[in-house]
Structure 1
Amino acid sequence: MRRIARLRSLALAAVLPVVLCACGGPEGGAADDSAEAVLVTAEVLRENVDILYGLASIERYNPPRASRLFAYAYVALYEGWVRGVPGLETLVGRLNGLDALPEPEAGVAFDWPTVALTAELGVVSLILEGAQPFSLFELETFVERQIEARREAGVGGGVVERSQEYGEALAEALSAWADADRYAERWDLNEYEPGRTEGSWVPTADYGMSIPLNQVTQMVQLFEEDDWREVRESDELRSEWLSDRMLLTARPSTITNPNTALEPGWRHLRPFVLSSVAEVAPPGPYPYATDPESDFYRDAYEVYRVSKELTGFDFATGHYWADLPAQTGTPAGHWLKIAMATVEQNEV
């Protein structure tokens, strides 16, 4: 039963934006369960998702880092709203390490959209600490605009200020919880060393050149080692050297090898719901083999064969799901957009 409860919590955490849309009600602002809930419109949440998606792209977050940003942001948004929507339950005690959060003062009114957005902004500000100065501007502007809309809707100034103070208290507590997930220690905890035996993975694109696109962005085109020698000796960039392996980065930057292991220390971070990542460990890979009759050879050859027969539709599908850092909000952001599209299509 405990495992089922934990899995339910995981499912809830994964669809928080959809839950917030689905559980709205008429506008109101008191603090107890008998109070009227405040409607979370799909339009407002869509803009919120779009802004965070853009943040992950601007900051060139890789998929694990982007997923962490989205997860903590929407836990904060949910916890800021949950006490104003009858039927929803707090995630305190359901997510690992989240043992307590500040409670609102009893008997006084709060404006839950203001609480939620203030909490979200505070948590995102912590996660983006050290980011580019303009990265938070759009989210800050969005929050200010939404709070001003609440005032225009008739929410009193005292209620707004009280709600902002409570949202800030939630943000402080949630930020402390996020800060304890070992994210900052992940490189110190990493003992990963690439294998050196036959069949071990090795980088295949060590070389690249920077092509400025505008004042703030450059493209880094990656080359095979043999092609790179020709590139350096040529006066032109020939089309046969180009491939889909490229990065868009902010200028200036240094060219690094993107084929190094991605966040190998991530497995040491505190999971949100699972006791350990071992609970959902996938089956191990086939053992390396060169025998054409082996499972490994068969599957590897299938990938090779298909790669030689790609159609225009295949390329379009691949680009749609590529979700490269700096080009999109990564797979986590992509799935959030799909969830929001589902909300809008079904008029939740």
Structure 2
Amino acid sequence: MKLKYYSILLGILFTCFSCSKEQEPITITTDDYHAAVDKLTEVMVHDIFSPPVASRIYVYPNIAAYETLNQNSSTYQSLANQLNGLETLDTENTAEASNLQLASVIAYMNVAKELVFSKERITAYRDSLYNHWKTQNEDEFNSAKNYGLQISEQIIAWMNADNYAETRTMPDYNIYTEDPSQWEPTPPAYMKGIEPHWNKLRPFVLDSAAQFKPATHPKFSLEEGSTFHNELMDVYNLTNDIREKGDDSEEIQIARFWDCNPFVSVNKGHFMFAEKKITPGAHWIGICKIACKDTQADFEKTVYAYTKTSVAIADAFISCWDEKYRSNLIRPETLINKHIDLEWAPILQTPPFPEYTSGHSVVSGASSEVLTDIFGDNFAFNDTTELPYGLPMRSFRSFRLAAQEAAVSRLYGSIHYKAAVEIGLDQGISLGTLVNDKISFLK
């Protein structure tokens, strides 16, 4: 009888302990959010998305997380009726969700899986987290999930109306032209022009894709002494000078660090394959992560920083690509091989789209302005973003100085003229300033 009594007592105690354990609150940290962003980056690199498309993939999950977190915040305010086309959201389940941080991560992943090719990779990651959270506190998880999905499904509906799907069926860029100034596909893959209709997407903050239409590039001319010919020769001569210094030169290190070209083709015998790299937008998302970690930003500020940065990056690509296919300017590599030196090759592989303006310059200018607004000027940091891709850390005294280096890296890499770099950086700074001035994240 005594043994039976103790067995029953132990059973009751075990049941109570299990119930108590199951009801522990679910703790979500900034590391959980960083991990979700990193997982999305990993999948994007695997799927080889173009830089403009990658910017779209980053921005919508961040907005979904931000909106889930901040419908009733005393510090941050909703972006509804601030971003183009985003109307007031239905928040029916707000009161039921006691863990908004958990709900925001769920919302992030729900949108992210709709944007990539390898949905199963996001889904498997999500399901492993779902199973972990359920064992901690199923009631809290379910209420957070219901709310996170409610908000994120509304973001998905808004996302699906941005004209992206329509651009998938629009015609390719027509490369057949007799105009010597017009862009042509470049070695080694001679790929067609990427995303010629990107300016038709609905922007987030811009009034239109052409709001920051840059000044016209120097008039095309192969006449010696003309501004354009001088810029062309500058690329040719600078490249030769850099090569004489060797692979350890500062210019080559800078060019490679900021390459971020997901379309680099590698030839191995009879085979050609893509070398996996992050995009320019992904590099600045990585810098945002570094700034959040260096300042020990709380969960809410972390989501805010990612969201504001990704909005600037997304509109930067819309603005830049609008000009790229308006001017359709030929790349230095094509002209140098045709008219100066048949054997010459750029230090970096030329990406597959027109030259003007420089995408890195526009995106870096925009990103540096919003990050400066969030974290302050003269924010020194060590940029470790490229370590996973075999490139060493570089250190910067501010976001703006990092942007300047990213811009000039395109000149060092022999893939842009000087005007595209300098005017592109100004274009990006103007766009980043607009995001800072026009959109109110803080109450």
Q: TM-score, normalised by structure 1?
A: 0.66
2:149 to 168, 171, 182: 168
Cα distance in 2 between the residues matched to 1:117 and 1:125: 13
Q: Deviations over 1:225-259 (max 9, x none)?
A: xxxxxxxxxxxxxxxxxxxxxxxxxxxxxxx632x
Letter in 2 for 1:180: A
Letter in 1 for 2:80: V
Quick check: 1:319 aligned with 2:256? yes
CA contact (8 A) 2:218 2:228 kept: yes
SS in 1 for 2:291: helix
1:111 to 99, 122, 135: 99
SS in 2 for 1:322: coil
Quick one: structure 1 residues 113 and 84, their matched pair in 2 at CA, closer, same or farther if it must change by over 3 Å? farther
Letter in 1 for 2:225: E
Q: Deviations over 1:35-73 (max 9, x none)?
A: xxx997442333222212112101100100100000011
Letter in 2 for 1:266: W
1:186 to 167, 172, 184: 167
Cα distance in 1 between the residues matched to 2:229 and 2:54: 34
Quick check: 1:303 aligned with 2:240? no
Q: CA deviation at 1:105?
A: 3.6
Quick check: 1:198 aligned with 2:186? no
Q: CA deviation at 1:85?
A: 3.9
CA contact (8 A) 2:173 2:196 kept: yes
What pairs with 1:12-51 in structure 2 (closer than 5 Å)?
A: 41-51=29-39
Cα distance in 2 between the residues matched to 1:68 and 1:108: 31
Cα distance in 1 between the residues matched to 2:132 and 2:49: 27
Quick one: structure 1 residues 39 and 332, their matched pair in 2 at CA, closer, same or farther if it must change by over 3 Å? farther
SS in 2 for 1:83: coil
Q: Deviations over 1:271-312 (max 9, x none)?
A: 011120111112122211112221101111111111112242
1:336 to 277, 281, 285: 285
Q: CA deviation at 1:316?
A: 2.3
Quick one: structure 1 residues 109 and 121, their matched pair in 2 at CA, closer, same or farther if it must change by over 3 Å? closer
CA contact (8 A) 1:121 1:143 kept: no
1:257 to 190, 202, 220: 190
CA contact (8 A) 1:81 1:116 kept: yes
CA contact (8 A) 1:324 1:330 kept: yes
> In structure 1, what is the equivalent of residue 77 of structure 2?
89
Cα distance in 2 between the residues matched to 1:70 and 1:143: 20
Percent identical pairs in the alignment equals 23
Cα distance in 2 between the residues matched to 1:44 and 1:101: 25
Quick one: structure 1 residues 145 and 298, their matched pair in 2 at CA, closer, same or farther if it must change by over 3 Å? farther
Cα distance in 2 between the residues matched to 1:175 and 1:320: 34
Quick one: structure 1 residues 49 and 121, their matched pair in 2 at CA, closer, same or farther if it must change by over 3 Å? closer
Cα distance in 2 between the residues matched to 1:331 and 1:180: 25
1:79 to 67, 71, 95: 67
Cα distance in 2 between the residues matched to 1:164 and 1:307: 54
CA contact (8 A) 1:192 1:264 kept: yes
What pairs with 1:141-152 in structure 2 (closer than 5 Å)?
A: 141=127, 143-144=129-130, 147=133, 152=136
Quick one: structure 1 residues 339 and 106, their matched pair in 2 at CA, closer, same or farther if it must change by over 3 Å? closer
Cα distance in 2 between the residues matched to 1:109 and 1:132: 30
Cα distance in 2 between the residues matched to 1:43 and 1:110: 20
> In structure 2, what is the equivalent of residue 140 of structure 1?
126
Q: CA deviation at 1:190?
A: 4.8
Cα distance in 2 between the residues matched to 1:87 and 1:56: 32
Cα distance in 2 between the residues matched to 1:142 and 1:157: 14
Q: TM-score, normalised by structure 2?
A: 0.53
CA contact (8 A) 1:59 1:135 kept: no
Letter in 1 for 2:133: I
Tell me how large the CA RMSD over aligned residues is.
2.6
Q: Which has the higher contact order (CA 8 A, sep 6+)?
A: 1
CA contact (8 A) 1:186 1:268 kept: yes
**Alignment length, in residue pairs?**
256
> In structure 2, what is the equivalent of residue 294 of structure 1?
226
